[in-house]
Structure 1
Amino acid sequence: MKKQRLVVVGGGSTYTIGMIMSLIEEKAHFPLKSITFYDTSAERQEKIAKAAEVILKDKYPELESFHYTTDKEEAFTNMDFAFVQIRTGGLAMREKDEQIPLRHGVVGQETCGPGGMAYGLRSIGDMIEVVNDIRHYAPDAWILNYTNPAAIVAEALRREFPEDTKILNICDMPAAIMVSYAKILGKEIWDLVPEYFGLNHFGWFTDIFDKEGNRLTDDIKNAITKEGFLPEDSEIVNDPSWIKTFKQVETMLHDFPDYLPNTYLQYYLYPGDMTAKEDISNTRARQVINGREKRVHELSDTLTANQTTEGADLEVDIHGCYMIRVAASLAYNTRDTFIVIVENNGIISNMPSDAMVEVPAALSSDGPKPFAVGEIPRFNKGLMEGQLAFEQLVVDGYYENSYNKLLQALTLNRTVVDAPTARAVLDDLIEANEGYWPELR
């Protein structure tokens, strides 16, 4: 097997240590020649990178090269894969994304509703720049993008790079849900074969099978309705917010029992409840700042000081493993099945062909081969069409510098609906995002 040269774009992310542990766990499937971190913030990246250096020295001694840089040419020249995980504006802007909508009585969440729009408009320009930079130095490299909000970013990249067949947009949330299904069934996630359709953070599992073709969907539904549903991914298993999120699946399944829902649908199906439970002074962003970010930075400092992983609390997470298995399937043409984001082109026959949909696909060395879904029911189609219009209008607003398109988008979004509220939220977001968003007219 050829050893791959990997660049992690956004090396200063608090998810990067988990990614390193996943690369170590998965090295038999995706062997590496080199790992490079690239970030625009030298200080943020250095803290994580110094810790990663210790981990790799102890647990991946056969790796030929590890380094970190803020220089684009140094990072991207001659690479094979880029894993892209940027957060324009950082957690400070995420907190504003969540607080501003809450002040107006609507959902405050980083990828859904007004917060998702704000984050998306900040992400688009930086993502386009990253792709252009990579293509300048590594025209044939695979770009695996899991920058949020994935739906809006994927739509913008579809328009900006229509001929680039080596950009793959992906989200780990379906995988995180499948880990919990696997726990219910006493299996591993890799034993499960999902049937799924939707938009990113807006979809449904229609069926779950095992590798032998046995249908397991009803077993999962019965277990959830009788015994509850909990997160199992190591990154979120003990997180009170995620525990509440998975608990909401029981309600969604009770109200709409046909399919198993993506957890993010709670924000669109029960926006009033989701808004009421939030604390504007302790949003999810604040919890991450005081929780995961603090924990990861303390762990990094300890690893750097001790120069050993002995006694360190290091865990592999599905976020990284899923991405790595995707990369392995592309690199070595294994044609394994993963849920990814692709242009519809008839996959869901009663949705627009230009929609960026999230569906299972076999991943080969020449890209994803999506499986046909066919027609979807009217209820799901209606929900998806509204959400798709929102996403596409946001990207229209970015390219056209259009206040009106963004107002239309927020008015359509199920978390807002009310036009005067949409206008008030939009005006506050414009002020908060000065210097990040395009100048609107």
Structure 2
Amino acid sequence: MKLTILGGGGFRVPLVYGALLTDRGEGRVTEVVLHDLDDSRLYAVARVLAEQAATVPDAPKVTATTDLDEALRGADFIFSAIRVGGLEGRANDERVALAEGVLGQETVGAGGIAYGLRTVPVAVDIAQRVARLAPDAWVINFTNPAGLVTEAMSRHLGDRVIGICDSPVGLGRRIAKVLGANPREAFIDYVGLNHLGWVRGLRVAGRDELPRLLADPDLLGSFEEGKLFGTEWLQSLGAIPNEYLHYYYFNRETVRAYREVERTRGAFLRDQQAQFYDEMKRPDASALTAWDRTRAEREATYMSENRETAGAGERDADDLSGGYEKVALALMRAIARDERTTLILNVRNQGALSVLDADAVIEVPCLVDANGAHPVAVDPLPDHATGLVCAVKGVEREVLAAAENGSRTTAVKAFALHPLVDSVNVARRLVEGYTEVHPGLAYLK
């Protein structure tokens, strides 16, 4: 089976390959094609993968190319993990937003909109090529903003594109752990949009164990989300929010923390990964050692500003191991081998969440089999969550419209309608600032 990875020179690709190396089952991936626009990054990542495979018999063969059409032809699965504008673009997203006093995070608020506006046209082009060159392939979208990009691609690929994220999986695992349950045996009642969802129940053998967690302040405050949001707020919500909702519930404090740091998250990653890729130019350097060292530092500093604002301390060791590659492998196995399973994924709504239309991409538990991912019908959200989900989905639709028609006016509307942008005038200045620093937004007229 052939797997193509778009953004194959990306830093997290070895996580995916490492997961593939553990799969010895029938119908496993035997060929991996890395595609990227940057030859040097492809070379660096290929070196890491070669060291990973050195002691593994029959490891998947790895090739690399800068030719997109060549990479797509004959693919059974396609991972889309692109970053339009690179980490310099992410750093600029943060800088422009923070100068206006609003959040610049890559998937939330102004930064997420800017990232979406320059990514959607590229993702649409990829989807159209896939439809033409590999119509039977399944596209698994890693590219952020994951829900928005998945919805853009779904307009050309239908249900053959599925978005994944490790945040809900990690959240469910942490809740199950503190409750003494096996995560594999628990059903996680999770619903929302990507980076905007809530766990409303965790059922083990038909019994919802979440009320027990919410009733115990000591237990509730013992894991990441309890430390991040505070037990009193979680008890008020009656649910456990995705960690990214910290940007909404504690926005003022988070923006202040981001403005006070020496380097934003994007700038930190830009500089850190530049060092890694420079090191890979030395033929005597151990690629895997350098990658492991860089990854450990990257994971340990994840959402550090939010944790500092909340007084949450350092991340637990169990939360430093990633996880999206495991979701991707489980998804591929379920489809390729008809190994039926339940995963939290980004898929078209199809009536699962009544407040949104059928084509809206949402993040919910899905039953996965050889025919793809099928969203499970979920109970309605409470009013406060419904309002937030509908508002953010409305913004996503404006981003998609702006990307399709190239309208600067529509782009301003997308920014202005976001709950974390507090003024139409700020929205106008954001569009001005972003078009100045991002050549990829020159299409907005």
TM over 0.5, yes or no? yes
Residue 226 (structure 1) shift:
4.5
The structure 1 residue matched to 2:86, chosen from 86, 90, 94, is: 90
2:371 aligns to what?
366
1:195 aligns to what?
189
1:18-417 matches, within 5 Å, as 18-28=15-25, 31-59=28-56, 61-63=57-59, 65-159=61-155, 161=156, 164-187=158-181, 189-210=183-204, 212-221=205-214, 226=219, 228=221, 230=223, 247-250=227-230, 253-254=233-234, 256-278=236-258, 279=260, 281-291=262-272, 293=273, 297=277, 305-306=285-286, 317-417=322-422
Q: Contact 1:102/1:280 (CA < 8 Å) preserved in 2?
A: no
1:436 aligns to what?
440
Counterpart-to-counterpart distance in 2, 1:220 and 1:30:
41
Task: Find the residue that maps to 1:122 and give its secondary structure.
Answer: helix
Question: How has the CA–CA distance of structure 1 residues 285 and 30 changed in structure 2, closer, same or farther, with 3 Å as cutoff?
Answer: farther
Task: Find the residue that maps to 1:165 and give its secondary structure.
Answer: helix
Residue 57 (structure 1) shift:
2.4
Counterpart-to-counterpart distance in 1, 2:52 and 2:217:
38
Counterpart-to-counterpart distance in 2, 1:348 and 1:249:
26
Q: Contact 1:22/1:317 (CA < 8 Å) preserved in 2?
A: no
Percent identity over the alignment is 27
Counterpart-to-counterpart distance in 2, 1:351 and 1:175:
23
Q: Contact 2:221/2:231 (CA < 8 Å) preserved in 1?
A: no
Counterpart-to-counterpart distance in 2, 1:323 and 1:225:
34
Q: Contact 1:155/1:392 (CA < 8 Å) preserved in 2?
A: no
Structure 2 stretches lacking a partner, 5+ long? 297-320
Question: How has the CA–CA distance of structure 1 residues 283 and 139 changed in structure 2, closer, same or farther, with 3 Å as cutoff?
Answer: same
2:316 aligns to what?
none
Residue 66 (structure 1) shift:
1.8
Task: Find the residue that maps to 2:364 and give its secondary structure.
Answer: strand
Counterpart-to-counterpart distance in 2, 1:181 and 1:380:
20
Residue 14 (structure 1) shift:
0.9
Task: Find the residue that maps to 2:441 and give its secondary structure.
Answer: coil
Question: How has the CA–CA distance of structure 1 residues 302 and 380 changed in structure 2, closer, same or farther, with 3 Å as cutoff?
Answer: same
Give the residue type in structure 2 aligned to 1:166. R
Counterpart-to-counterpart distance in 1, 2:17 and 2:388:
37
Deviations 1:139-190 (A, max 9, x none): 211110110011221232233x1x5331112222111222322432445543
Q: Contact 1:69/1:75 (CA < 8 Å) preserved in 2?
A: yes
Q: Contact 2:2/2:31 (CA < 8 Å) preserved in 1?
A: yes
Task: Find the residue that maps to 1:20 and give its secondary structure.
Answer: helix
Provide TM-score, normalisation by structure 2.
0.85
Question: How has the CA–CA distance of structure 1 residues 73 and 319 changed in structure 2, closer, same or farther, with 3 Å as cutoff?
Answer: same
Question: How has the CA–CA distance of structure 1 residues 413 and 27 changed in structure 2, closer, same or farther, with 3 Å as cutoff?
Answer: farther
Counterpart-to-counterpart distance in 2, 1:311 and 1:373:
40
Residue 112 (structure 1) shift:
0.7
Counterpart-to-counterpart distance in 2, 1:301 and 1:224:
51
1:237 aligns to what?
none
Question: How has the CA–CA distance of structure 1 residues 29 and 249 changed in structure 2, closer, same or farther, with 3 Å as cutoff?
Answer: farther
1:9 aligns to what?
6
Structure 1 stretches lacking a partner, 5+ long? 232-244
Q: Contact 2:345/2:365 (CA < 8 Å) preserved in 1?
A: yes
Q: Contact 1:10/1:85 (CA < 8 Å) preserved in 2?
A: yes
Q: Contact 2:198/2:242 (CA < 8 Å) preserved in 1?
A: yes
Counterpart-to-counterpart distance in 1, 2:396 and 2:290:
46
Moved more, 27-36 or 47-56: 27-36
Give the residue type in structure 2 aligned to 1:213. G
2:302 aligns to what?
none
Task: Find the residue that maps to 1:31 and give its secondary structure.
Answer: coil
Question: How has the CA–CA distance of structure 1 residues 11 and 139 changed in structure 2, closer, same or farther, with 3 Å as cutoff?
Answer: same
Counterpart-to-counterpart distance in 1, 2:146 and 2:292:
32
Task: Find the residue that maps to 1:32 and give its secondary structure.
Answer: coil
Query: Are residue 427 (structure 1) and residue 421 (structure 2) matched?
Result: no
Give the residue type in structure 2 aligned to 1:209. R
State the structure with bigger RCO (CA 8 A, min sep 6), 1 or 2: 1
Task: Find the residue that maps to 2:34 and give its secondary structure.
Answer: strand
Residue 227 (structure 1) shift:
5.8
Moved more, 97-106 or 146-155: 146-155
Q: CA RMSD in A?
A: 2.9
